[in-house]
Amino acid sequence: MARKYFGTDGIRGRVGSAPMTPEFALKLGWAAGRVLSPEGGGKVLIGKDTRISGYMFESALEAGFAAAGVDVLLVGVLPTPAIAYLTRTFRARAGVVISASHNPFHDNGVKFFSDEGRKLPDEQEEQIEMLLDESIEYAEPEQIGRARRIDSAQGRYVEFCKGSFRSERSLKGLHVVVDCAHGATYNVAPHVFSELGARVTTIGAEPDGLNINDGCGSTHIEFLSRAVVENGADLGVALDGDGDRCILVDADGSVLDGDDILYILTCSRLEEGSLKGPVVGTLMSNLGLELALRAKGIEFERANVGDRYVLERLQASGGVLGGESSGHILCLDRTTTGDGIVSALQVVAAMVTSGRSLRELLGGMTKCPQLLINVPLNGQAAPAVMDLDNVKQAVQNSQAAMGQAGRVLLRPSGTEPLIRVMVEGQDAAEVQHQAEAIADVIRSVTH
């Protein structure tokens, strides 16, 4: 069925505009409670990032679940992957995250995890959407859900992250700069790295409800690059607002994206003999990653953009490693969902074990020039714009000009009102020219 509310990563929008209103959140909580705990009873776990609107949506969702007869466990500000983990440990029916990930503070969203700590299957999201069009049917007064706060949640998650790093290893002697994006990891990530022995310099860890992702974190990597060089650190870790993705910085300030991280982790798992199945990237993954892995005899598959599709492909193929160039990495031999802290620790473990720097660990992979341009839609529908004859012709012209030496991909963002134009090839100037040509055509239509 066509989705009205759910995108590739839950429901998301500008606070105060449909669907991100407290009225909608209350009904969403009720609908989700009915679907995820159809017989009533049970419990769900709710966490959030540092956006000021999180308080409002937390209360509304709590009321909705209670109206459906479902108990609520409130864990406060914690990263998205922490909710996935804690949902399993508390044997909850589902986990709920109030976050808009890497978006600015004026956006917010809601996403769900199953009782196994995985994104909900399409069927359950569709069932929730169907109930959103119905009137609320309240549980009997004696069956209304209760709510309580879990004070131990943060400590539990810190220990889980540390447990993904082998106990015989230590970060002693490493200086790490951690950028928390003024988001959900601000009071977790520094503890994880310091308790494992690293010297930690923390930036982006003073949230005020309005500054999440503002000029920092994985979407503004220049902040971390500068801090790593100025502090003479060995590496930097940039997390996004809800902590499910990371971008790394080498000692010289150079940036390693998700493709680089995936290559390092794959080579590390291959060397230690623990690599299973194919490695899964997305349509946006750099061609250089695919070529480098195949040169080592490693099968590489591409899924649609979105971590849920990477996860589906890994589960179907028996693989354990996958991810997106944005830094959303899946290490299924460590956890069930994308986790920025855990992913970074796996790379640092490869550094510690091999005695090599991040740049040295990248030996063997040469990226093809790739350019991504985000074009705002200005209120227009992405499918309608992409289906226009002049837009389709622009894509065809660019692909013809690139030939077999390049790739052109046009797709709507699943989380923002944007069309993403990606062009990849062997000649950087030609890539730039073709990407701008397509983007200009789209801009002429959307303006």
Question: Active-site residues: which are they?
Answer: 101
Structure token pair of residue 184: 């959900």
Residue 76 has what DSSP assignment? E
Alpha carbon distance 51, 57 (integer Å): 10
Opening angle at CA 387, ends 304 and 132, nearest 5: 65
Specify whether the CB–CB gap between 47 and 92 falls below 8 A: no
Cα 101 vs. chain centroid, distance in angstroms?
7
How long is the chain?
447
Alpha carbon distance 269, 417 (integer Å): 37
Specify whether the CB–CB gap between 178 and 200 falls below 8 A: yes
Alpha carbon distance 289, 202 (integer Å): 31
Cα 114 vs. chain centroid, distance in angstroms?
17
Structure token pair of residue 241: 């607002």
124-157 exposure pattern, b = at least 16 Cβ within 10 A, e = fewer: bbbbbbebbeeeeeebeeeebbebeebeebbebb
Q: CA 332 → CA 30, 87, 303, 342, distances in Å?
A: 31, 17, 16, 11
Strand 235-239 and strand 329-331: pairing?
A: unpaired
Structure token pair of residue 150: 């879990």
Respond yes or no on whether the N-terminal peptide bond of residue 278 is cis (omega within 30° of 0).
no
| DSSP SS3 for 4 | coil
Structure token pair of residue 64: 């909705």
Specify whether the CB–CB gap between 240 and 181 falls below 8 A: yes
Structure token pair of residue 218: 């994985």
In the block, tokens 């069932």 appear at 127
CB 14: neighbour CB atoms within 10 A?
16
Structure token pair of residue 436: 């701008």
